[in-house]
Chains A and B, each alone.
Chain A
């Protein structure tokens, strides 16, 4: 059995977001492997170490920096990578991303080769939470998202999904999409020898024409949605202190809550 992890390169959680006009200023952003994708890769590698899976492939779409995310996944223990890089892809939304990833996956043998499809539940930048389910839909296979446990038994998997106030236990037939959340596992620190090994592991590169995708099917033109502008969240205002006699203070406070804060 083989596993594939779809991963994304995202800005580091400690990045200070800056804007140039209403666009993101990406010039000094440090990028990392999306932390949720790390859970996915860790899980796939553990399945390999347990002898359940014999290959872990990592697929990422994105500019050249996506390669660093792939390397990070390879350092955790994945076997090889696929990097889809093409200038035309800039501005692609979630559904276009899902379609491109599916084509790359098919190029690697698709469902004939890979039975476990792992994702991070969400990417911490775009935060659409949608690509895993979209890919499942495009491939016509089930998806269990938000999982904290995954057991593979032959052709079947038991996955535990977190829902509000409890857990749902799913038994699904493979192939299946699984989207990992925090708690699925504790990702390892990649050891130095693993980092060095990752350097030697192969990364296959595809452009959209390699995947037979026309350029007008991707990017801004091919997308249903478009990001019009970015704005920073409003700056936190300094607190307001109400002073005086209790009766007076209460009155003022109620007035504030009613007229300024619009809470009551």
Chain B
């Protein structure tokens, strides 16, 4: 057994950490306050090849693996959770399915610019009436000659403001239930497709969360991803991989909270000594670092299993997300506690980490859904 990253993975981690530390972290507070990630950060991410980490070079990617991708998400999220999820949602939920299910033509047309970061991707499944229960979506796609005509409303769509390419899920045959859902690649600017209002959120405020409206939106039949009726499976595969990304994001947030707490505890003096001298604080720090390390190993294992092509990796990605999101909540809560009153103010970053952590328990499958996945898998004997 080897717990070591490869030479390239180490170089990648060093580079991303340095980039995030120097270019993203100093602006994270502003990103949170203004609710927007500056365009130049997105351009730098693209230049560095961070929008197609695991995509083969022939499709414009960096040719690394899923472990590398997950490391990138942790390091970016350590600096700014909003920036982390921009890359994660783009990669896991749009790039990955086109890489896996796309035709050669679709890959040339959409995967290449997505992997290069010239275009940003957004995944559109959720609707006002369909969250965890994706089969209750009401968006439809009706075939008309060489086109599909899409009608419906999506909401809570991550990257909705920045994205150029949307992976949209709709029923092509409602009768067939989940086997009647299909996935379509829809370009921004397609007539009948508009991006609606943006949500105001508790955390990850720099990440856009948009409403999408489809009114007789005509999409070429060649933009169907996979086959008709395959949409549900495509989506499930997206979320299996996406959970690795969100687990890594949660670890990144927790890591930042822990580092800030450690520094604060060493310098904050009460009763004539640094509070790090007190066992009550020491125990909190010890728990934090232990939980974070365990969560990190779990997401790395899930990513590694995915790289090995082992199908049951989804069990590990569910465990990684379940555990890491809980760790992020616990660690960020304790981080505020260590900071005391200061931690409750916006003068320190820990309140932002706390707000950012919460979403990791919700999106790309709630913690309850993860437990269901895990329970079903173990009962099946996986």
A residues whose Cβ falls under 8 Å from a Cβ of B: 32, 68, 71-72, 75, 189-196, 198-199
CA distance A157 to B64 in the complex (A): 40
A-B contact pairs, 11 of them (CB 8 A): A71-B7, A71-B11, A189-B18, A190-B11, A191-B47, A192-B15, A192-B64, A194-B49, A195-B11, A196-B57, A199-B8
Check if A193 sits within 8 Å of B62, measured CB to CB: yes
CA distance A72 to B15 in the complex (A): 10
Q: If A71-B7, A72-B11 touch, does A196 touch B63 (CB 8 Å cutoff)?
A: yes
CA distance A180 to B7 in the complex (A): 27
- A-B contacts counted at CB < 8 A amount to 45
B residues whose Cβ falls under 8 Å from a Cβ of A: 7-8, 11-12, 14-15, 18-19, 47-50, 53, 57, 62-64, 68
Q: Which chain A positions have C-beta within 8 A of B49?
A: 191-194
Check if A75 sits within 8 Å of B11, measured CB to CB: yes
Closest CB-CB distance, B186 to chain A, in whole Å? 28
Instruction: Give the most central of A71, A191, A195, A199: most B CB within 10 Å.
Output: A195
Output the nearest chain B residue to A68 by Cβ-Cβ distance.
B7
Q: Which chain B positions have C-beta within 8 A of A71?
A: 7, 11
CA distance A120 to B57 in the complex (A): 33
Q: If A68-B7, A71-B7 touch, does A192 touch B18 (CB 8 Å cutoff)?
A: no
Q: If A196-B57, A196-B64 touch, does A189 touch B8 (CB 8 Å cutoff)?
A: no
Q: Which chain A positions have C-beta within 8 A of B14?
A: 32
CA distance A194 to B12 in the complex (A): 10
Closest CB-CB distance, A123 to chain B, in whole Å? 19
Check if B8 sits within 8 Å of A195, measured CB to CB: yes
Q: Which chain A positions have C-beta within 8 A of B47?
A: 191
17 further interface pairs, Cβ-Cβ under 8 Å (given A189-B15, A189-B19, A199-B8)? A32-B14, A68-B7, A75-B11, A189-B48, A191-B47, A191-B49, A191-B62, A192-B12, A192-B15, A192-B49, A192-B64, A193-B62, A195-B11, A195-B12, A195-B15, A195-B62, A196-B62
CA distance A196 to B68 in the complex (A): 12
Closest CB-CB distance, B32 to chain A, in whole Å? 23
Check if B15 sits within 8 Å of A190, measured CB to CB: yes
Q: Which chain A positions have C-beta within 8 A of B19?
A: 189
Closest CB-CB distance, B65 to chain A, in whole Å? 11
Check if A192 sits within 8 Å of B50, measured CB to CB: yes
Check if A192 sits within 8 Å of B53, measured CB to CB: yes
CA distance A198 to B15 in the complex (A): 14
Q: Which chain B positions have C-beta within 8 A of A32?
A: 14
Closest CB-CB distance, A245 to chain B, in whole Å? 26
A-B complex: 4 closest residue pairs judged by Cβ atoms: A192-B62, A192-B49, A191-B49, A191-B48
Output the nearest chain A residue to B68 by Cβ-Cβ distance.
A192
Q: Which chain A positions have C-beta within 8 A of B63?
A: 192-193, 196
Q: Which chain A positions have C-beta within 8 A of B11?
A: 71-72, 75, 190, 195, 198
Output the nearest chain A residue to B53 by Cβ-Cβ distance.
A192
CA distance A192 to B18 in the complex (A): 14
CA distance A190 to B48 in the complex (A): 7
Q: Which chain B positions have C-beta within 8 A of A193?
A: 49, 57, 62-63
